């Protein structure tokens, strides 16, 4: 059984897949509390659905790209077989995860977008660092940057672990809080080998709108 906040069809707003039509499965619940989280409505509530229900709802959208997100999707043990089932059904599968939960049980076909929570999130000490050793070239690592302190912390993690040689590294401003231009200029000044991203959907729809 899966506890689900929402299943919706939208334009992927993040990662290297930004701009592509995508179905989102937002699982309920998260053990973290990032200071700037834009999805606190997924912490509680939700509706219990069987894996078959979820697959049927996803299939109905007729879209080959699916993202499992949350909340923290890996906080539900049944998320692991769901990811495998989605791959078996022929979907291209993305997983958006906080970095705090072990990704060892995630199907290797899944494209993992792994956050590394910076100090400004208040959750940096929750990082499960062995997750970085399991990154495949189709995976992506994301740093959401609140301020200059976060930027310098992320830069050190990227350089000391040679992350850009392993996979795409994304840096994103905290929406509505971090000056995007400032972050872009820091990246350029340092020749940091990352992909700067904005949350595209928040520029298309109202930033606080659900289900997009």
Ligand X SMILES: C[S@@+](CC[C@H](N)C(=O)[O-])C[C@H]1O[C@@H](n2cnc3c(N)ncnc32)[C@H](O)[C@@H]1O
59 binds, among ligand 2KA, ligand X, ligand SF4, none (CB under 5 to 8 A by kind): none
Contact 45, 30 (CB under 8 A): no
Nearer to ligand SF4, 17 or 193 (CB): 17
- Residue 163: Cβ within 10 Å count: 20
Nearer to ligand SF4, 98 or 131 (CB): 98
Give the span between the Cα atoms of 142 and 113, in whole angstroms.
7
Interaction between residue 25 and ligand X (CB under 6 A): no
Q: How far is the CB of 128 from ligand 2KA (least distance, A)?
A: 18
Contact 169, 194 (CB under 8 A): yes
Structure tokens at 46: 């939700």
- Determine whether the annotation assigns residue 22 to a binding site: no
Mode of pairing for the β-strands spanning 2-11 and 47-49: antiparallel
Q: Residue 102: which of 84, 78, 75 has the closest Cα?
A: 75
- Which residues are annotated binding-site positions? 11-13, 26, 30, 34, 36-39, 69, 71
- Which residues are annotated binding-site positions for Mg(2+)? 39
What residues make contact with ligand X under the rule CB under 6 A?
30, 36-39, 69-70, 72, 96-98, 115, 142, 144, 172, 174-175, 199
What residues make contact with ligand SF4 under the rule CB under 6 A?
30, 32-34, 37, 39, 70-72, 98
């Amino acid at each position: 059984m899966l506890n689900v906040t929402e299943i919706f069809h939208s334009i992927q707003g993040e990662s290297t897949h930004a701009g592509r039509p995508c179905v989102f499965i937002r699982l309920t619940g998260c053990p973290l509390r990032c200071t700037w989280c834009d999805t606190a409505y997924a912490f509680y509530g939700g509706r219990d659905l069987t894996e078959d229900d979820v697959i049927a709802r996803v299939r109905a959208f007729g879209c080959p790209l699916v993202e499992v997100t949350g909340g923290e999707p890996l906080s539900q043990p049944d998320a692991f077989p769901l990811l495998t089932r989605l791959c078996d059904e022929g979907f291209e599968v993305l997983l958006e995860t906080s970095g705090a939960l072990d990704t060892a049980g995630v199907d290797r076909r899944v494209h993992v977008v792994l956050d590394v929570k910076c100090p400004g999130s208040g959750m940096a000490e929750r990082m499960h660092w062995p997750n970085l050793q399991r990154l495949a070239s189709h995976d992506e690592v994301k740093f959401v940057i609140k301020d200059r302190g976060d930027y310098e912390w992320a830069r050190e993690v990227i350089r000391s672990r040679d992350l850009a040689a392993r996979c795409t590294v994304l840096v994103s401003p905290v929406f509505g809080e971090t000056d995007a231009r400032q972050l872009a200029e820091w990246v350029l000044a340092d020749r940091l080998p990352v992909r700067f991203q904005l949350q595209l959907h928040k520029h298309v729809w109202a930033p606080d709108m659900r289900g997009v």
